[in-house]
Amino acid sequence: MTSNKEIERAIEGLGSGWELKEDKILKSFQFPSFMKAIEYVNDIAKIAEGGSNITRLLQSTGGLSNFP
């Protein structure tokens, strides 16, 4: 099993905004409008439909929040 320290080091290579919290890798996104957020979700859905492991990402997020 990978240690939290190893995961945190790997996350640093992803760019800003990523964090390890309660054994989950998280990043918050804010969109200028609800429709822009939906466009983002639809883009991820296209990737997930191709059988990518991103499907698990969507299942674990529980949806979008914090719309301005």
* Domain enclosing residue 35, as ranges: 31-68
61 or 51, higher pLDDT: 51
CA angle 17, 18, 20 (to 5 degrees): 140
Whether pLDDT at 57 is above 60: no
Label each residue of 1-58 as H, E or C: CCCHHHHHHHHHCCCCCCEEECCEEECCCCCCCHHHHHHHHHHHHHHHHCCCCHHHHH
Model pLDDT, residue 35: 93
Model pLDDT, residue 64: 46
**Same-domain pairing of 38 and 62:** yes
Whether pLDDT at 6 is above 60: yes
User: What mean pLDDT, rounded, does the chain reach?
Assistant: 74
**Same-domain pairing of 63 and 35:** yes
The pTM score is 0.52
**Same-domain pairing of 68 and 47:** yes
